[in-house]
């Protein structure tokens, strides 16, 4: 039977109707599944990280290179460490961090742009500081009001020439900042400047992590790395994962309504999808925890004086609870064994090399174009540098309460870093399974739609 011209055109129109319908269905589904996927942010873009071996996505048994298993870490973190750390970082002593916010990048002219007001740091009036934090007899010329929203926010240059009794002002050999130079330093209330999504995007943001990883990503295969170089990479990767999780946990979901919340797809895309990044997060957590538990006498005997006897007593009590918790001592007495590193004839030379690499990473924090990102980058890198300082003294000998010397700012950074890592581990443990189920469902739906599209196309091509 010969088809008329009208019938042929009708079948052609029907065919293209189904083609367009299938195409629209696929595009809508893909748009919905990727709607919550954010643009790359400074501390969210980790796809550029050097590609190391990835294992199975199962997180059980011993944490690699550590002396504690995943199940124990999660239990201790939820029951003991996270509650104590959350209280500790809110005390006056650990609330204020001294930092140089405006520094020239030593590697390139910064061209970063920050499109959200949350990039700026909330500065504090001098009257808010504990008296012992201020230079004696220094008076404020302006009654500064603590507020966000100014792209070029003025920085309160309160000096800090009065150190605590028992605290020293000696440079950390692992970090770049000159902590004894206080002329350009300002106090920042960390509780008023939470670490979260800032909208800092673009080439400048990506370039930071490219440069950080280039300090520890050699061109030869990863299996040729020595143990110490692997440790440095895992610390960088773990810190990167933690920062990405902080952003996912406090993300701007809708800028028009200023709606903030959890972005589980970001956490999955940047961290959970790569098992080694989760493992490195647990590793750095135990590494920093080991540094804290290795110096209990020093940290217990230090003076946490802020001029408020009740708050200072509470701070000291929380420190003791953290250092001597019986559950922690029984379940994970030595989270990481640093004694196995720097062995052999080239140990001192290797240590000096890796120390310089970390100093370069520390210097890169001055290149961050977002003020709030720079604040938390500097704090956490200083905290990690302090952990390295505690575990690996300059002369290669074991530190003790008599030989270890820490600055007040180093202890503040160390404890705040441990709290940030604790929060990340807690978020992964509690929300990780949910994020994986959601994202695996999205991937399954997308695969189904693509398969449907292929079937449609195959059918239409035959008609």
Residue ranges of the binding site: 196, 198, 209, 237, 240, 270
Q: Judge whether 156 and 126 are in contact, CB under 8 Å.
A: yes
Active site residue 373: yes
Give the active site residue among 114, 217, 367, 370.
Answer: 370
CA distance linking residue 398 with residue 395, whole number of Å: 9
Q: Whose CA is closest to 237, among 181, 285, 168? A: 285
Alpha-carbon span 345 to 335, nearest angstrom: 27
103 is catalytic: no
Contact 40, 201 (CB under 8 A): yes
**Binding site for FAD: what residues are annotated?**
196, 198, 209, 237, 240, 270
Say whether 164 sits in a helix, a strand or coil.
coil
Tokens at residue 78, please?
A: 């939820």
Which spans in 52-106 are helix H? 70-76, 82-88, 92-95
DSSP string, 270-292: IIITSHHHHHHHHHHHHHHHHHH
* Rounded distance between C-alpha atoms, residue 146 and residue 154, angstroms: 10
Q: Which residues pair with 189 in a beta bridge?
A: 96
- Residue 340 per-residue DSSP state: G
431 vs 262: CA distance, rounded Å: 10
In whole angstroms, what is the distance from residue 238 CA to residue 30 CA?
A: 31
Which one from 66, 68, 114, 373 is the annotated catalytic residue?
A: 373
Among all residues, which ones are annotated catalytic? 370, 373
């Amino acid at each position: 039977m010969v088809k008329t011209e009208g019938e042929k055109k009708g079948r052609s129109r029907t065919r293209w109707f189904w083609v367009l319908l299938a195409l629209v269905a696929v595009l809508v589904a893909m748009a919905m599944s990727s709607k919550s996927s954010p643009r790359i942010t400074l501390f969210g873009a980790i796809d550029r990280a050097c590609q190391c071996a990835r294992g199975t996505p199962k997180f059980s048994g011993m944490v690699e290179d550590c002396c504690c298993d995943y199940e124990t870490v999660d239990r201790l973190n939820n029951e003991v460490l996270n509650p104590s750390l959350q209280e500790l970082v809110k005390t006056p002593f650990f609330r204020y961090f001294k930092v140089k916010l405006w520094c020239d990048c030593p590697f390139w002219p910064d061209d970063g742009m920050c499109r959200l007001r949350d990039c700026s740091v909330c500065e504090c009036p001098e009257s808010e500081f504990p008296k012992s934090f201020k230079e004696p007899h220094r008076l404020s010329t302006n009654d500064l009001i603590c507020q966000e929203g100014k792209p070029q926010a003025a920085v309160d240059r309160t000096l800090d020439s009065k150190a605590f009794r028992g605290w020293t002002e000696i440079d950390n050999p692992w970090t770049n900042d000159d902590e004894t130079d206080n002329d350009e330093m300002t106090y920042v209330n960390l509780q008023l400047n939470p670490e979260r999504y800032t909208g800092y995007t673009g080439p400048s943001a990506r370039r930071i992590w490219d440069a950080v990883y280039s300090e520890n990503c050699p061109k030869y295969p990863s299996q040729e790395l020595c143990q110490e170089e692997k440790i440095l990479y895992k610390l960088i990767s773990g810190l990167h994962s933690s920062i990405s999780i902080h952003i996912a946990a406090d993300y701007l979901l809708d800028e028009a309504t200023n709606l903030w919340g959890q972005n589980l797809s970001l956490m999955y895309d940047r961290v959970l999808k790569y098992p080694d990044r989760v493992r490195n997060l647990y590793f750095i957590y135990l590494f920093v925890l080991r540094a804290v538990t290795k110096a209990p006498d020093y940290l217990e005997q230090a003076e946490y004086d802020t001029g408020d006897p009740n708050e200072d007593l509470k701070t000291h009590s929380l420190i003791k609870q953290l250092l001597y918790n019986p559950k922690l001592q029984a379940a994970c007495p030595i989270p990481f064994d640093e004694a196995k590193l720097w062995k052999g004839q080239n140990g001192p030379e290797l240590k000096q090399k890796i120390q310089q690499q970390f100093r370069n990473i520390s210097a890169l924090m001055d290149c961050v174009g977002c003020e709030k990102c720079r604040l938390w980058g500097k704090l956490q890198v200083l905290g990690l540098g302090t952990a390295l300082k505690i575990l690996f003294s300059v002369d290669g000998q074991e530190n003790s309460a008599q030989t270890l010397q820490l600055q007040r700012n180093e202890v503040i950074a160390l404890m705040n870093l441990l709290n940030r890592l604790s929060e990340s581990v807690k978020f992964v443990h509690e929300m990780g399974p949910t994020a994986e189920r959601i994202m695996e469902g999205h991937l399954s739906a997308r695969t189904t739609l693509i398969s449907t599209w292929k079937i449609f196309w195959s059918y239409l091509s035959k008609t």
